[in-house]
Amino acid sequence: MATETAVESKPEPESASAPAALDSFNPATGEKVGQVSTITPDQVQGVVDEVGAIQPAWAELRPSDRAVYIKRAATVLLDRMDEIAELLSAEQGKPISECYTMELIPSIDALRWVAKEGPKILKAEKVSYPQPFFKTKRSKFSYEPIGVVGVIAPWNYPWTIPIQEIAIALMCGNGAVLKPASLTPLLGEAIQSVFEDAGLPKGLIRNVHGGGRIGDALTKSNAGKIFFTGSVPVGYKVGEECARLMKGCVLELGGKDPMIVLEDANINFAVPGAVWGGFANAGQTCAGIERAYVIREVSEEFIEGVVKAAAGLKVGDPSEVDTEIGPMVSRDQYELVNELVEDAVASGAELRCGGPVEIEGFESGSFIAPVVLTGVTHEMRIMKEEIFGPVLPIMVVDDEQQALELANDSDFGLGASVWTKDRQRGERIAGRIDSGMVWINDHMFTHGACQCTWGGVKDSGLGHSHSKFGFYECVDIKLITYEPGLTRNFWWHPYDETLSDAMKASARLLYGKGGERIDALKNGAGPLLRVGKRITKRGS
């Protein structure tokens, strides 16, 4: 994911202390939105310790009691929705309509789902024993808090990604330390305030600011688990550091999501799906469509439709409700996207529409009108590297097999989509795509459905967020067993021929076939009875 590449993975100047404050700027206007206080890396452990001191009391609450607070947070967010939407649009540059549809409404829904389903997911789970020699034993899986969870968040979805990860961590009884992206620090503070306004203990959730070194210090702290969303190189470093410290991490490192359009697809449906999947949030989406493979016989209709629709999207002021493409979050991101497009065109691709544009009154913003490219090949950088901008390269393919081979020809494996009227065909193809998620006749909508798991394979990351599997990432799973002690275990000492014969007979009685079982019963009855007397005898 390019979310952290432009900011967090840049080396910072060596200094004994961080600046006293971090300014936040509107990417459309260049105006200052606000300011947050920063800390130095050596102060991060102290923050983690302070959260750790508060967390045990929170963990003592029953999950159903924690759920009350999480549900209250959903109400607080609903009440403050317009205020936060304006901040989100101003600080990140997301069109105001997308602030509601892609960030705030899904977050309200997620908080309510976490509150409703959390107690059921976290309820101790009984373990059954079909083995007859374990029949006296009672066991269960217990889901226990990790302690403090660290969340290192991205700038592209600076609200919904961290708030959902934090909500699940809290529901599991943990405290949380959030390191927001340096481009969107005010949203991190707003997330903390939503939970505190809902009545959660002050200090249970804390923000730490100060650039990439702070994220590194959080990873190296004794926080029990790290959730990181960002670039592949930084993600590898986070994973390596967590492994060195023998603690877990969940890494969401971006994608290069393919869209496969088959000859039997509903083109009138696939075209708007491609346009939204490729250009929503100005293409700054880890699971956005970054390459499309369309079967030749429907390619002309599909390409013409995508070009026409893309060219009609409104680019401009993100605070206006009808704006569909806002600014790139930073000049660095703008230049990276343009570099990839220029490289593709220089290598033979055809630019069908889009490119850099200036918006009157927003000269400080970096805007790119939606780009559609055809004539691309897999040798081009744009088909291999994550674009993370409003660019959709389209390749015409001869058949389903070629589309599959090209779709899997990537170091990434986050999401993918297949467009066909034949559900069975779509599911068969989905099973052959190397990715963590596949949508048939849709794309990436499940990030707004917290009951669905989110995560990828290959360089797209490790572990999962959301769903019951996201809960399991936020707990230590403990097995607890009980034995009433009425009989001794037969495998205890003494070891002798009686035990050996009884065990052989038992194996054949339990797992053998017809005649083999009868013979085992005849020949093993004596040893089995003697072992039975032995294990029911009191004392040594």
Residue positions annotated with a catalytic role = 252, 286
Buried b (16+ CB within 10 A) or exposed e, 230-252: bbbebbebbbeebeebebbbbbb
Say what angle helices 105-122 and 63-79 make with each other, to 10 degrees: 180
Tokens of 142: 């217990």
Measured in degrees and rounded to the nearest 5, phi and psi for residue 439 equal -110, 135
Q: What are 17's two structure tokens?
A: 């202390």
Return d(Cα 304, Cα 108) in angstroms, integer.
38
Question: Do residues 441 and 269 touch, judged by C-beta distance below 8 A?
Answer: yes
How far apart, in whole angstroms, are the C-alpha atoms of residue 213 and residue 539?
62
Question: Interior CA angle at 236 toward 404 and 7, to 5°?
Answer: 100
CA–CA dist 326, 314 (Å, integer): 9
3-class SS shares of the chain: helix, strand, coil, % to 5: 45, 20, 35
Q: Return the half-sphere exposure (C-beta side, CA atoms, 13 A cut-off) of residue 406.
A: 27
CA trace torsion 93, 97, 99, 103 (10° rounding): -140
Element (H, E) at 405: helix 400-407
Distance CA 124, CA 128 (A): 13
CB atoms within 10 A of CB 224: 22
Pick the closest to residue 279 from 168, 443, 134 (CA basis). 443
- Structural Rg of the chain based on CA atoms: 28
What strand order describes the sheet that includes 415-419?
350-357, 367-374, 391-397, 289-295, 257-261, 415-419, 437-440
Strand partners, 465: 454
Tell me the three state secondary structure of residue 342. Answer: helix
Closest C-alpha to 290, from 195, 452, 413, 110: 413
